[in-house]
Amino acid sequence: MQYLGALLPRITRLQALVIGLAVTPLLLGGAGVIALLLFLMASGGTVTGAPEQPIAFDHSVHAGEAAIPCQFCHRGVVTEASATIPSVQQCMFCHGVVATDRPQIQLLQAHWETNTPVDWTRVHRVPDHVRFVHAPHIQAGLDCATCHGDVASMSEVRQVRSLSMGDCQGCHRENSASLDCATCHK
Amino acid sequence: MSSAHEASARATAVATLGETIPTDAEVTPLDGRRWGMVIDLDRCTGCQACVVACQAENNIAINEENRVLERRAKTWIRIERYWEGEFPNAKARFIPVLCQHCGNAPCETVCPVWATYHNPEGLNVQVYNRCIGTRFCANGCPYSVRYFNFWNPEWPEPLNNQLNPDVTVRTKGIIEKCTFCLQRINRARVTSKNEDREIADGEVQPACVQSCPTTALVFGDLNDPSTTASRLAESERRYTLLENFGTDPSVVYLKKVDPHVEIDHHHGHHAETAGKHA
């Protein structure tokens, strides 16, 4: 309670104790809130829950039970920047005949018949000043699950890593990949 | 950027953030390349194709008349025009001026937040999300090729639909400048790595180089003696802009100086005196 004595020279010891007991939790609470805000700022990207999709596509059925390789649908991933979302036509290669009686598949077939794309909700997004290119990561032998988590067991895909700059850099440092800003920032 | 300044900055950074800051040795050097450009002024016709190509490639907002009058127009590459002689016998001379990607860049040492730095391939890189808009770099640049965003850029319909997705749209309050079309360099790096080969000479062409109708602009690795650019850079016609500043530019200009041309001694004398006063 030294600081109170300095601020208010004529205060008694009891008064100082009472004021101290009342004010200290407030100060600690404030510091706690500030620390929490700083932590949230420093932690960068947020890991969000699974967004709702227009069609309840289940990765655990396709990538899990049926064990279809990721590249079968996400065809750009080996050679392009973007892994690419398959077109309705590609879904229809199978779903022209497979499980045509289910309501979710009939939603898909409606898109096929009306010649409209499915408006999927994007799950993973890096900021606009970052250019992430899938190809070199796959070529380097990284598993998709390294960044995307165990998608084969997810009914609804959600982001599992922060994908913040520190997240990328940690991995780049471990694998002696480039740490030059210009490699990722555009 | 070296020695005492860097050491003390690094010590501060380590004290704040712990041992997560990479040293220069840890920042992986990439093959010792030095990207550079050779501009043959004897070929340049001043057509401005490079200027237009650059605006389109790099999402540079349109310079309306009042922006130009306010001297806040942005052109990562510009054509400077000089007149030689008096009216009936006047000749126009052109010098395309872009970021010189100096080996000893005055802009890099003055940035308080390291938003501009020299990368291992000899590029002077501007990291937009670090920039806080002090404009020290633009004041330090003797070539006046750094541009400040006084506004958020806007494009009239339908030009807003032709933005290049590989280039950030820069927001209000930050500095931007020529990148030597970094997005094209990065694309060539990924492609060549996928195909397990080196980047070929001429594979990377910035938009200005690609669009030049007289091939006055040549881009390439100046450290590799086999490239067209490095061979041209050895020409006896070579000079660099403001050579006496010692900035070590990566842009080399070629110009034949005709020894038989009449020198205006009166004006020449004036220029010399002005130089001494400056």
B123 and A131: CB-CB below 8 Å? Answer: no
User: Domain containing A97: what range?
Assistant: 59-184
Residue A23 located in a structural domain:
yes
Confidence of residue B264 (pLDDT cuts 50, 70, 90): low
Looking at CA atoms only, how far is residue A98 from chain B in angstroms? 36
What CA–CA distances, in Å, run from B71 to B145, B175, B213, B260? 13, 15, 28, 38
pLDDT at A23: 72
pLDDT at B175: 96
pLDDT at B73: 92
Size of interface A-B (CB pairs under 8 A): 57
Alpha helix (H) ranges present in chain B? 3-17, 49-57, 65-69, 106-110, 136-140, 182-194, 207-211, 228-233, 265-277
Residue A26 located in a structural domain:
yes
Residue A136 located in a structural domain:
yes
Q: Is the pLDDT of residue A102 over 90?
A: yes
For chain A, what percent of residues have pLDDT higher than 90?
61
- What tens digit of pLDDT does each residue of A71-88 get? 999 999 988 889 999 999
Average model confidence (pLDDT) across chain B: 86
Interface test with B, best of A129, A130, A133 (most B CBs within 10 A): A129
- What tens digit of pLDDT does each residue of A120-171 get? 999 998 888 899 999 999 988 999 999 999 999 999 999 999 999 999 999 9
pLDDT at B77: 96
Chain B residues lying within 8 Å of A183, measured CB to CB: 186
CA nearest to B122 within chain A: A182
pLDDT at B149: 94
Confidence of residue B275 (pLDDT cuts 50, 70, 90): very low
Greater confidence, B188 or B21? B188
Q: Which of B20, B119, B129 sits opposite A180 (nearest CB)?
A: B119
pLDDT at B78: 95
Question: Do A94 and A172 belong to one domain?
Answer: yes
Question: Do A165 and A78 belong to one domain?
Answer: yes
pLDDT at B194: 85
* Exposure letters A90-121 (e unless 16+ CB within 10 A, then b): ebbeebeeeeeeeeebeebeebbeeeeebeee
Question: Do A80 and A146 belong to one domain?
Answer: yes
Q: Is the pLDDT of residue B265 over 60?
A: no
A131 and B183: CB-CB below 8 Å? Answer: yes
Instruction: Summarize the confidence of residues B187-206 as an average pLDDT.
Output: 92
Q: How far apart are CA B1 and CA B107, in angstroms?
A: 10
Which amino acid is residue A142, in one-letter code? L
Cα Rg of chain B (Å, integer): 20
Q: How far apart are CA B208 and CA B51, in angstroms?
A: 7
Question: Do A26 and A111 belong to one domain?
Answer: no
Domain boundaries, chain B: 38-257
Question: Do A16 and A84 belong to one domain?
Answer: no
pLDDT at A22: 74
Residue B35 · residue B121 · CB < 8 Å:
yes
Q: Which of A177, A180, A185 sits opposite B120 (nearest CB)?
A: A180
- What tens digit of pLDDT does each residue of B214-241 get? 999 999 999 999 999 999 999 999 999 9
A128 and B168: CB-CB below 8 Å? Answer: yes
Confidence of residue A50 (pLDDT cuts 50, 70, 90): confident
Residue B208 · residue B50 · CB < 8 Å:
yes
Residue A52 located in a structural domain:
no
Confidence of residue B100 (pLDDT cuts 50, 70, 90): very high
Count of domains in chain A?
2
Q: How far apart are CA A129 and CA B73, in angstroms?
A: 23
Chain A residues lying within 8 Å of B33, measured CB to CB: none
Question: Do A96 and A164 belong to one domain?
Answer: yes
CA nearest to A133 within chain B: B190
Chain B residues lying within 8 Å of A131, measured CB to CB: 166, 183, 186
Q: Looking at domain B38-257, which of 3.30.70.20, 3.30.70.890, 3.30.1180.20, 3.30.360.10 is its CATH number?
A: 3.30.70.20
Question: Do A104 and A134 belong to one domain?
Answer: yes
Confidence of residue A58 (pLDDT cuts 50, 70, 90): very high
pLDDT at A48: 64
Q: Which of B20, B28, B128 sits opposite A178 (nearest CB)?
A: B28
Question: Do A18 and A92 belong to one domain?
Answer: no
pLDDT at B32: 83
Instruction: Summarize the confidence of residues B144-169 as an average pLDDT.
Output: 92
A129 and B129: CB-CB below 8 Å? Answer: yes
Confidence of residue B7 (pLDDT cuts 50, 70, 90): low
Residue A47 located in a structural domain:
no
Residue A163 located in a structural domain:
yes
pLDDT at B12: 61
pLDDT at A8: 64
Question: Do A125 and A33 belong to one domain?
Answer: no
- What tens digit of pLDDT does each residue of B111-133 get? 999 999 999 899 999 999 999 99
Question: Do A27 and A78 belong to one domain?
Answer: no
pLDDT at B29: 46
Question: What residues does B39 pair with on adjacent strands?
Answer: B217, B253
Greater confidence, A73 or A3? A73
Question: Do A77 and A33 belong to one domain?
Answer: no
Q: Is the pLDDT of residue A103 over 50?
A: yes
pLDDT at A80: 87
ipTM for the whole predicted complex goes beyond 0.95? no
Q: Is A139 an interface residue toward B (CB < 8 Å)? A: yes
Residue A128 located in a structural domain:
yes
- A residues 78-97 near B, CB within 8 Å? 79, 81
Confidence of residue A9 (pLDDT cuts 50, 70, 90): low
Structure tokens at A150: 């165990």
CA nearest to B190 within chain A: A136
Greater confidence, B33 or B259? B33
Interface test with A, best of B23, B194, B195, B199 (most A CBs within 10 A): B194
Chain B residues lying within 8 Å of A128, measured CB to CB: 168-169
Q: What's the per-residue H, E or C state across chain A?
A: CHHHHHHCCCCCHHHHHHHHHHHHHHHHHHHHHHHHHHHHHHCCCCCCCCCCCCCCCCHHHHHHHCCCCHHHHCHHHHCCCCCCCCCHHHHHHHHCCCCCCCHHHHHHHHHHHHCCCCCCCCCCCCCCCECCCHHHHHHCCCCHHHHHCCHHHCCCCCCCCCCCHHHHHHHHHHCCCCCCHHHHEC
Question: Do A64 and A38 belong to one domain?
Answer: no
Residue A144 located in a structural domain:
yes
Q: How far apart are CA B186 and CA B183, in angstroms?
A: 5
